[in-house]
Amino acid sequence: MSRPYMVTGGRTRPRVTRYFDLVDMVVRSARLTEPTSAISPECAQILELCRIPTSVAEVAAIIGLPIGVLRVLLGDLTGEGLLRVVSSQRQPVPDQSLLRMVLDGLESL
């Protein structure tokens, strides 16, 4: 296993600005049929693991990389279009009473 700074080339941030939450799901892009030979062994492992949607935390645990290093690699793979991210953040549910007031106001017009 390489040292973390070697895996990322000394970078602490991905080339593409994107924050990966531990519960975000990452999945290999549908357009990718075969991993390219130009990627690192760690990236190839990530792509193989992410054939099915997998959480960021699971990828880190299975591959054995620190989460900071993994986020850099995920950002790079996402920027290259090799991975897709399904964010775990759900949209806030509107307050039912507020919706009722809006509906009543519209009906009164």
Query: What is the fold, at CATH topology level, of the domain defined by 4-108?
Result: Arc Repressor Mutant, subunit A (1.10.10)
Query: How far apart are alpha carbons 26 and 77 in whole angstroms?
Result: 10
- Asked if residue 9 has pLDDT above 90, the reply is no
Q: What pLDDT does residue 57 have? A: 93
Rounded percentage of the chain residues whose pLDDT exceeds 90: 20
Rounded percentage of the chain residues whose pLDDT exceeds 70: 70
Q: What pLDDT does residue 54 have? A: 93
Task: Sheet containing 25-28: give its strands across.
Answer: 54-55, 25-28, 83-86
Contacts of 60 (CB under 8 A, 6+ apart): 66, 67, 70
pLDDT tens-place string over residues 87-108 = 766 556 667 887 788 888 889 8
- Asked if residue 2 has pLDDT above 60, the reply is no
The structural domains of the chain, with segments of one domain joined by +, span 4-108
- Token pair 């054939």 is found at 51
pLDDT tens-place string over residues 16-64 = 666 788 888 999 987 665 555 577 888 889 999 999 999 999 999 999 8
Q: What pLDDT does residue 28 have? A: 92
One DSSP character per residue, 22-83 reads TT-EEEE-TT-SS--TTS-HHHHHHHHHTTS-EEHHHHHHHHT--HHHHHHHHHHHHHTTSE
Radius of gyration of the chain (CA): 19
